[in-house]
């Protein structure tokens, strides 16, 4: 699932590295050309939303006495849409640290905070259709009620009958 893999990369990258809101405003002066510090803001993977999620990951990691990378990976492992999380370790020490994610356990409040911070806004057309004004424009004062069939008291049949078929129409079977 490509969507799940991109979630893994974004969660781990922001939580594992020391990015801040200042990185959004600066052009990474003094960083080597082509480094992640230059590339991440340019391609949109480093943004205010990602940094806000990383802050919540860091808070939960501090509560659990774990590293942010372990917390982000453990949280990602709980996602049923993710089939193969990408660890991204370059050294044996990083690998050992990130494998500690297998021992992380969250309580319900921590998971709720992480999920709320990373909730995806539905976007168009869902946000437009959820507005009260749109509902009023589309439906007006329309209310849907069950159909009641009343009988004509004089004849004992429904007041409206479908028209009889025209004698000029022949059926061909």
Q: What is the pLDDT of residue 69?
A: 92
Q: What is the pLDDT of residue 116?
A: 94
9: CB partners within 8 A, 6+ apart: 45, 86, 88
Q: What does 47-78 look like in DSSP terms, one character per residue? A: -HHHHHHHHHHHHHHHHHT--HHHHHHHHHHT
Whole-prediction pTM value?
0.57
The pLDDT > 70 percentage for the chain reads: 61
Q: What is the pLDDT of residue 108?
A: 95
Residue ranges of the chain with per-residue pLDDT less than 50: 1-11
Q: What is the pLDDT of residue 37?
A: 66
Q: How far apart are CA 155 and CA 101, in angstroms?
A: 78
Domain boundaries, the chain: 1-46, 66-139
């Amino acid at each position: 699932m490509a969507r799940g893999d991109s979630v893994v990369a974004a969660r781990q990258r922001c939580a594992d590295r020391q990015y801040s809101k200042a990185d959004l405003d600066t052009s990474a002066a003094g960083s080597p050309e082509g480094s992640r510090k230059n590339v991440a803001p340019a391609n949109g993977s480093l943004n205010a939303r990602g940094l806000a999620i990383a802050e919540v990951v860091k808070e939960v990691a501090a509560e659990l006495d774990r590293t942010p990378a372990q917390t982000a990976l453990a949280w990602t492992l709980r996602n049923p849409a993710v089939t193969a999380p990408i660890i991204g370790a370059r050294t044996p020490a990083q690998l050992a640290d990130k494998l500690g994610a297998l021992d992380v356990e969250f309580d319900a409040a921590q998971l709720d905070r992480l999920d709320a911070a990373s909730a995806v806004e539905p976007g168009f057309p869902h946000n437009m259709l959820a507005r009260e004004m749109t509902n009023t424009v589309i439906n007006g004062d329309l209310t849907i009620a069950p159909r009641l069939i009343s009988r004509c008291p004089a004849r004992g049949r429904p007041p409206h009958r479908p028209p009889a078929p025209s004698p000029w129409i022949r059926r061909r079977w």
